[in-house]
């Protein structure tokens, strides 16, 4: 930006130096302001990422604890089934129990761990 004076005298070298310093200062301050703004935005993004990761881990921990409990119950049912088969006593009550255990151990739980943060 150049200020036009009414008189048209040639610029002195001090005016060039002053304009250069002002322009250099403006560009430098603009650079520092942009850098500071980006630093602030990245800090906010980091906080959001950490919150998302924390929520995902809490959800996944809950799912895995449920799976451990489910697997413990299923293992007990399979142990009972194994004991019935090894004993080889086939009366009505043992066949009925074996049938019920077989129905309860068929299939499995569906589970999906969170990948929102890691994606």
Cα dihedral sign for 14, 16, 21, 23?
positive
**Domain assignment present for 56:** yes
Q: How far apart are CA 13 and CA 2, in angstroms?
A: 15
**Domain assignment present for 7:** no
**Domain assignment present for 85:** yes
Q: Can you give the pLDDT of all 119 residues of the chain as single tens digits?
A: 566 656 667 788 899 999 999 999 999 999 999 999 999 999 999 999 999 999 999 999 999 999 899 889 888 988 988 888 898 888 898 889 888 888 777 666 677 777 777 66
**Domain assignment present for 24:** yes
Provide the number of structural domains found in the chain: 1
Task: State whether residue 38 is helix, strand or coil.
Answer: helix
């Amino acid at each position: 930006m150049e200020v036009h004076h009414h008189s048209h005298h040639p610029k002195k070298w001090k005016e060039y130096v002053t304009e250069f310093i002002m322009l250099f200062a403006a560009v430098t301050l603009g650079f520092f302001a942009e850098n500071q703004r980006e630093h602030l935005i990245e800090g906010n993004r980091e906080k959001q990422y950490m919150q998302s990761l924390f929520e995902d881990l809490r959800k996944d921990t809950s799912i895995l604890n449920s799976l451990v409990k489910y697997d413990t119950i299923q293992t007990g049912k399979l142990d009972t089934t194994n004991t019935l088969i090894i004993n080889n006593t086939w009366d009505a009550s043992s066949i009925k129990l074996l049938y019920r255990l077989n129905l309860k151990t068929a299939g499995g739980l569906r589970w999906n761990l969170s990948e929102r943060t890691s994606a």
